[in-house]
């Protein structure tokens, strides 16, 4: 149940390989995921492993590959 995930820390991997870690704030009608206090990480050679702060972000459901609580 989605309601039980509110205010939980989520790790979301998207189709281009980026990973977003942030606090789950909810969804909208088409099931886009809204994260707050989020950071973006790009893994791989030549990438900054520290990530960058993106704040609030909405991720379209169709680009989400993996979601971990």
Residues 17, 56, 67, 62: is their CA dihedral positive or negative?
A: negative
Beta-bridged to residue 59, according to DSSP, are: 33
What was the pLDDT predicted at 1? 63
User: Domain locations in the chain?
Assistant: 2-68
Partners of 64 in beta bridges: 14
Separation of alpha carbons 56 and 17, rounded Å? 19
CB atoms within 10 A of CB 33: 23
Amino acid 9: pLDDT: 96
Q: Are 40 and 58 spatial neighbours (Cβ–Cβ below 8 Å)?
A: no
Chain centroid to Cα 12, Å, comes to 4
pLDDT digits (tens, 9 = 90+) for 2-43: 778 888 999 999 999 999 999 999 999 998 999 999 999 998
Model pTM score: 0.89
User: pLDDT value at position 16?
Assistant: 93
Spell out the CATH class of 2-68: mainly beta
């Amino acid at each position: 149940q989605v309601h039980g995930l509110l205010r939980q820390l989520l790790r979301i991997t998207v189709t281009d390989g980026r990973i977003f870690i942030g606090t789950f704030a909810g969804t909208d009608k088409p099931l886009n995921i809204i994260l707050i206090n989020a950071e973006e990480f790009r893994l791989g050679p030549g990438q900054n492993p520290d990530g960058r702060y993106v704040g609030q972000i909405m991720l379209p459901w169709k680009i989400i590959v993996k979601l971990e609580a």
